Copies of this chain bind each other. A is one copy, B any other.
């Protein structure tokens, strides 16, 4: 690996997203989610469980002030350590203590991050003022030594960093950094960034390879990638070293977590213990994606960042193996990961149940984090293919079309009766829910969608990589000169893309990803406006190098045929079944269009597919209509089991809609995989 070849995302301030499809999602975040989330952080959403997030910061700030004002006379109140604090039913009777989940602080940091991103695309002085004031509240809670986690500030500082495995102090540090950097990069304001540095300094003084320092690492990863980011913004190697320590120490024997949790030692053998936290073996020895799926991809993303920054081949090689493990054996066709709700974990290889899937929105987002980082090191189109698959399907499925309700779990098959009646499927919701008490997914969507362009484009000195075709106006410096690259895209409705370059004439390369879905060979893809001699093809990218003349325009066309897909037959749950895709979109059958008992339907795969404009809850989409059959239920027969007879079935038209728009028309059945008619 060669540092000079690595590409990096462009600053969000250099890319204005103009895309019909994605701009709409971003506007939902700006107009719906951010105000709603702010209300939620302040316990003002009626009918939702209070967050207590801002309240905890205020309480901690108040205590801080008392302490500072009283100086040496201050006596630390004798707080009792209470573990996870139940939310009181009557908000009138709150005391000056910590409420909510142990990771509650991070909710604000995610909001601040999304606000930062959003301000780059849509300046909003009012929103910025709100954020500034909130940052003042948060910073007032910071301790003089830099420590900043309201759970321990309010519950007793003597327990700081004593339960790294299950409590989320270092997770909160990671999100604080992510939020602070984003807000700084958007606004130039460094108050939150300085707070993040203060807490990172505190952590760096506590953890590290040096003698006498604590050898712990985060139970829920994110600090690894955040610390790389903090290093890149500040140039301070202390942060890089802390992140590297967390990566390198993870899984070392004897396990650090054993000291915190002696009760774990007898329950699980060495080599398997803490697999939930990806801390069962050192990260360079890991070659199978295991444990809590969100934690896993957050770690892998941090490892990839670290491999890039330190040019660490062995670390990069582990990232490649873990990537392969996921996409070859553990990923749903929607880009969802996490086959079991038990521990929200990866299941074993090829175990991808559709109706009990976890496929958490946050995990798909983490997969996008990882994919972009893999692309930075090596632009190979498979990373972008997976990134696009996750974004258009599992990630977007996480939010209703109106931006007001959310899925944590993104199943590929839903029977609402089963969700109600069967506790094994209780985690699968047939309709999206309002804000959650544990609000990880919606704020994560907000920060992803607000920064979507950083996944579409990366750059080197002389090359712009187009990973996703997303309408945008991009400013890029080449040899000290500024070019404007205007991308317009009809995706996902059709595969037409136009790219126009303007500015001074300098030699420069645009690397265009050729998506896997446009088909093998050259029939699936055409380009106009360049000479063959200007083009080279490598790892799924077409590199177009030339001196661009003003107003020159590239026209790309990607075939967007309906494709009938099958899964690797080792995926037991999908055997004998097919799924419909078109371009990056995975399709599904919904009861609203196809009647009840979707399992009775079969798809006639030999017939042609038709596409048509269709409206789902106000959203214009391309529907796919195909021939199929519906097996008849013979209610006249007594008993459940009978000698086989030729099934009575009637021909029907099956109407498939894009997966991301499902569950916007009330509670109903849905399935991605449909049985294949003989």
Q: Which residues of A contact B (CB under 8 A)?
A: 327-329, 331, 333, 340, 342, 347-348, 351, 356, 382, 415, 417-418, 421-424, 563-572, 575-576, 578-579, 597, 599-600, 605, 631-633, 637-645, 647, 675-676, 678
| Cα–Cα, bound, A92→B571 (Å) | 51
Chain B residues in 8 Å Cβ range of A570: 597, 633
Q: Could you show 15 A-B contacts with beta carbons less than 8 Å apart?
A: A329-B640, A331-B640, A333-B640, A333-B641, A340-B422, A348-B421, A356-B424, A564-B644, A566-B642, A568-B633, A568-B639, A569-B599, A569-B647, A575-B599, A575-B600
Is there an interface contact between B415 and A572, defined as CB atoms closer than 8 Å?
A: yes
Specify which of B566, B572, B675 is in contact with A599 (CB 8 Å cutoff).
B572
Closest to A333 in B: B641
Is there an interface contact between A640 and B568, defined as CB atoms closer than 8 Å?
A: yes
Is there an interface contact between B568 and A637, defined as CB atoms closer than 8 Å?
A: yes
Is there an interface contact between A566 and B645, defined as CB atoms closer than 8 Å?
A: yes
Work out how many copies of this chain go into the complex. Answer: 2
Nearest first, the 6 closest Cβ-Cβ pairs linking A and B are A678-B678, A348-B421, A564-B644, A342-B423, A572-B599, A566-B644
Chain B residues in 8 Å Cβ range of A575: 599-600, 631, 675
Chain B residues in 8 Å Cβ range of A417: 348
Query: A328-B638, A640-B329, A641-B333 given as contacts; is B568 within 8 A of A340 (CB)?
Result: no
Specify which of B340, B342, B571, B633 is in contact with A569 (CB 8 Å cutoff).
B633
Query: A342-B423, A347-B421 given as contacts; is B640 within 8 A of A576 (CB)?
Result: no
Is there an interface contact between A644 and B605, defined as CB atoms closer than 8 Å?
A: yes
| Cα–Cα, bound, A637→B417 (Å) | 37
Closest to A566 in B: B644
Chain B nearest CB from A429 CB (Å) reads 17
Chain B residues in 8 Å Cβ range of A605: 644
Chain B nearest CB from A11 CB (Å) reads 33
Query: A327-B639, A633-B570 given as contacts; is B423 within 8 A of A578 (CB)?
Result: no
Chain B residues in 8 Å Cβ range of A564: 643-644
Specify which of B348, B422, B637, B641 is in contact with A347 (CB 8 Å cutoff).
B422
A-B contact sample (19 more), CB < 8 A, given A347-B421, A569-B633: A329-B640, A340-B423, A342-B423, A348-B421, A356-B424, A415-B572, A564-B644, A566-B641, A566-B647, A568-B633, A568-B637, A568-B639, A568-B641, A569-B599, A569-B631, A569-B647, A570-B633, A575-B600, A644-B676
Closest to A331 in B: B640
Chain B nearest CB from A159 CB (Å) reads 30
Chain B nearest CB from A411 CB (Å) reads 14
Is there an interface contact between B571 and A640, defined as CB atoms closer than 8 Å?
A: yes
Chain B nearest CB from A288 CB (Å) reads 12
